[in-house]
């Protein structure tokens, strides 16, 4: 994905997104989110397990996985870019291979800000750069992947329309959730300094691949 907050980028465009097969009846689109329609949430380190959770949940027809949480959804909803996210809808087994998706401007965004869907390789290269830097700093593999999650959260919060939001009170009450979502809680720890990004020059890495440093809000 190429994101620029200083230049208006193309409005709605069609993109062919690679589809990974996670299970017999689920395929996944990488680096995208499905907006709204949440009915439940489960904690899963492996996004492939979201498919099983969805199939076991009444009314679930799609899901998004991000930062260790499966967000189960009643419908697919609007598709928007989300670096590091993995989304799927339950489909017939024959629907594998490649799927066309259309990315449209987020309704929350200002009229002169648009996001252009970008090749998956940008996200991959960004992750590779972060992992290489983490290795040079002596971080473990688990620590390195946590840093990737942190940077993806800051990218979503500060460089894309909208923000990283917690579960609503209504959602928590309906599903008997007492705490915050893992993504939201981690973002608050980053912002407060309790768990800062440990990758040296991480802002420069984001700026190189996404034209946004991620340390301040650049898109409303």
The closest of 103, 100, 200 to 144, measured between CA atoms, is 200
Q: Are residues 64 and 85 in contact, defined by beta-carbon separation less than 8 angstroms? A: yes
Residue of 97, 102, 135 lying closest to 19 (CA atoms) = 97
Give the CA distances from residue 22 to residues 26, 67, 73, 207, in Å, rounded to whole numbers and listed in that order.
6, 17, 17, 32
In the block, tokens 């407060």 appear at 192
Rounded CA gap, 173 and 184, in Å?
17
Integer Cα distance of 69 and 67 in angstroms? 6
Distance CA 62, CA 75 (A): 6
Domain-wise residue ranges, the chain: 13-210
User: What does the pLDDT look like over 121-172, one tens digit per residue?
Assistant: 344 556 788 888 999 999 998 888 889 889 888 988 898 877 888 888 887 7
The CATH number corresponding to 13-210 among 3.50.4.10, 3.90.550.10, 3.40.1350.10, 3.40.50.80 equals 3.50.4.10
pLDDT band of residue 201 (cuts 50, 70, 90) is: very high
List the alpha helices (DSSP H) in 15-119: 48-55
Residue 200: CB atoms within 10 A of its CB come to 11
Q: What is the pLDDT of residue 49?
A: 86
């Amino acid at each position: 994905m190429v994101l620029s907050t200083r230049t208006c980028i193309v409005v709605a465009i069609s993109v062919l997104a690679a589809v990974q097969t996670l299970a017999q009846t689920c395929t996944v689109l990488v680096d995208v989110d499905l907006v709204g329609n949440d009915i439940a949430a489960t904690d899963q380190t492996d996004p492939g397990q979201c498919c099983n959770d969805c199939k076991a949940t009444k009314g679930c027809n799609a899901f998004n996985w991000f930062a260790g949480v499966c967000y189960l959804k009643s419908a697919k909803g609007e598709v928007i870019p989300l670096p590091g996210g993995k989304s799927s809808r339950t489909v017939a087994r024959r629907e594998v291979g490649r799927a066309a998706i259309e990315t449209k401007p987020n309704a929350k965004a200002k009229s002169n800000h648009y996001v252009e869907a970008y090749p998956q390789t940008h996200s991959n290269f960004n992750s590779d750069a972060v992992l290489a830097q983490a290795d040079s700093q002596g971080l473990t593999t688990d620590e390195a992947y946590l840093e990737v999650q942190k940077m993806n959260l800051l990218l979503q919060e500060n460089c894309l329309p909208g923000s990283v939001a917690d579960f609503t009170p209504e959602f928590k009450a309906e599903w008997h959730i007492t705490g915050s979502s893992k993504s939201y809680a981690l973002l608050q720890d980053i912002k407060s300094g309790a768990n800062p990004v440990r990758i040296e020059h991480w802002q420069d890495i984001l700026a190189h691949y996404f034209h946004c440093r991620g340390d301040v809000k650049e898109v409303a």
